Amino acid sequence: MAEVVLYHHAQGLTDGVKAFADQLRQAGHTVHTPDLYEGNTYATLEEGMEYAQATGFGTIAERGVAAAQDLPADVVYAGFSLGVVPAQQLTQTRPGAVGGLFFYSCLPAEEFGGWPEGVPAQVHAMGEDPFFAEEGGDMDAARALVAANSSVELFLYPGKEHLFADSSLPGYDEAAAKLLLQRTLDFLA
């Protein structure tokens, strides 16, 4: 069974993120869910992004990296949207990382010095999600990562919701979330 650090998205450590972590735990995995927002959650993505901007994206990422420092080296780093930043950074830079799971976001590998050889990862997003497919270049970064590394997979789901696997939010898509969960469990196995 895997040990996983799961970082939340910009709305905070929501009940939906906790429920996802619990599903991984029920499958026998050890899951840590650091709270990068110090207990704050937000009703909308815009409110959560305002908090992240006011706090500083660098500070949020530093909190994520610090949360993993006392954990064993052989960990899978996972993140939802904003949480992909520390998850991808640690997957690429922390020696012994077992893998990465990047939900709704992906950064260019060059952000953190290149992809470590042989480290597997999955990127999951809806193909028409404007945050993933258009705004930040996440789709391009994911495709480049897959093209350069045979150990990385990209899974695109039909639809345009951003936080589609968070069961506590209005954009929840049960069918896509179930498939994302199954692919995640297959990866962790």
Domain ranges of the chain: 3-188
Give the predicted TM-score (pTM) of the model: 0.96
pLDDT of residue 135: 73
Q: Which CATH class is domain 3-188?
A: alpha beta
CA 41 vs CA 14, 46, 142: distances in Å: 6, 12, 28
Q: Contacts for 68-72 with beta carbons within 8 Å, 24 or more apart?
A: 68/5, 68/32, 68/34, 68/94, 71/3, 71/5, 71/32, 72/3, 72/96
For residue 136, the model assigns a pLDDT of: 72
**pLDDT score of 134:** 87
pLDDT beneath 70, residues of the chain: none
What pLDDT sits at residue 127? 96
